[in-house]
Amino acid sequence: MVRYTPPLGWNSWNTFGWDINEELIMSTADKMVEEGLLDAGYEYLVIDDCWAEDERDENGRLVPDRNKFPHGMKYIADYVHSKGLKFGMYSCDGYLTCAGFPASYQYEFIDAETFASWGVDFLKYDNCNRPATVPAKLLYHRMALALRNTGRDIMFSACNWGVEDVKEWIKETGSNMWRSTGDIVDSWESIKDIHYLQLDYQPYNGLGCFNDMDMLVVGMNGKGNVSMGGCTYSEYKTHFSLWCMLNSPLMLGCDIRNMSDETKKIVLNKDLIKINQDPAGCQPMLLQGFKNGNHDQVFIWAKQLENGDIAIGIFNLQDEQRLSYIGFDVLGLNRSCGVKLKFTDLWSHEEAVYKDGFKVLVPAHDCFVWRCKLLPMDV
């Protein structure tokens, strides 16, 4: 089954890395429901790397780590499903995963069948430790085919970090998402770097196959596997808003068992999630920012929405505040169109109506995202 909007969920890697186990996964499943994350759309619970024993069994099958997952993976999958969530796992197209556990090269069909028999609904497929002579394209094609032949509906999440021209061929595999960047870390610099990379990728992002900007670091606050000092509230808010505007999958990476009120305010912003999940899946349009040699660090993105509204976001990635003018002519609108725009701020919920444009003061590292409704000029 193709999923037309970007997948939402949680992944173990950013916070927990190697330190995963049955109790963590089951209590995370509980919290996804209790905290309202599932209701907000976060439905996939994904175990990343470091879940397997070092050796396959006598039939060549992957074996879950007996200490971390003493009841095996079907047990976990059943529990996750009993909560109304979907269950995701991780493998890699090489001999070993990135963290050095057995991976699926030359075992693709056996592993796909194993995952299906456990009740897996989502597979993140990494790109480490593979033979240099075999192109990634063939290996992603091969695993996609293996998954499809299990007869189970398993979402394929390709993770080859944007290399080997993945954007050109990934849709051939039917993959639902493709990682366009190296690994995120919990720092403002990392968020900015990943955003810059996306400017040339937008034309390749679309319905059913989304450009994955990597798991979210919102709420990590400097703690966990990929922590690098953490970010401020405004920086996490800007990070989340960018990932929503640019149609990235939204995979939480913090410890959701201990979310602060600020973290919940960000990741449970249903108006922002609606922008990310808009059924039209239009790629956003860059109205201002760093492109073709223009080094402006204040970006304005706009995205047409299915009901005729427009989402507009302004993102100040520089270190000083900026007074910016947002003129509607760059959206293709002018007085001859006979419309004005009603702006609803998706963070403060304030509303305002403008005719041709308006000025806004954006604090450093902060953003505004509005949902804009077209109204007849004379109303």
49 part of the interface to ligand GLA, by CB under 6 A: yes
Q: What are the residues facing 20 on neighbouring strands?
A: none
Q: Strand runs (DSSP E) across 36-166, as ranges?
A: 44-46, 86-92, 122-126, 155-158
255 part of the interface to ligand GLA, by CB under 6 A: no
Size of the site for ligand GLA (CB under 6 A): 10
Contact in structure between 147 and 175 (CB atoms under 8 Å): no
65 part of the interface to ligand GLA, by CB under 6 A: no
Site string for ligand GLA, 132-171 (x = CB under 6 A): ---------------------------x-x----------
CB of 45 to ligand GLA, least distance (A): 15
- Please identify which residue in 98, 112, 185, 302 interacts with ligand GLA, judged by CB under 6 A: 98
Contact in structure between 267 and 218 (CB atoms under 8 Å): yes
Residues 6+ apart with CB under 8 A from 232: 188, 365
CB of 98 to ligand GLA, least distance (A): 3
Pick 26 or 96: Cβ nearer ligand GLA: 96
Contact in structure between 292 and 332 (CB atoms under 8 Å): no
Chain positions 177 to 206 lying near ligand GLA, rule: CB under 6 A, are 183
Helix (H) or strand (E) segment spanning residue 351: strand 351-354
CB of 329 to ligand GLA, least distance (A): 41
Pick 99 or 213: Cβ nearer ligand GLA: 99
CB of 147 to ligand GLA, least distance (A): 18
Which one of the spans 36-44, 91-99, 110-118, 363-371 is the region binding ligand GLA (CB under 6 A)?
91-99
Q: Report the distance separating Cα 306 and Cα 275, nearest Å.
A: 10
- Please identify which residue in 43, 121, 126, 186 interacts with ligand GLA, judged by CB under 6 A: 126
89 part of the interface to ligand GLA, by CB under 6 A: no
93 exposure class (CB count in 10 Å sphere: 0-12, 13-18, 19+): buried
Contact in structure between 62 and 76 (CB atoms under 8 Å): no
Task: Give backbone dihedrals phi and psi of 170, rounded to 5 degrees, phi first.
Answer: -65, -30
- Please identify which residue in 48, 93, 186, 309 interacts with ligand GLA, judged by CB under 6 A: 48
Q: 323-355 burial by CB neighbour count: b if 16+ within 10 A, else e?
A: ebebbbeebebeeeeebbbbbbebbeeeeeeee
- Please identify which residue in 13, 51, 87, 240 interacts with ligand GLA, judged by CB under 6 A: 13
Catalytic residues: 126, 183
Residues near ligand GLA (CB under 6 A) are: 13, 48-49, 97-99, 126, 159, 161, 183
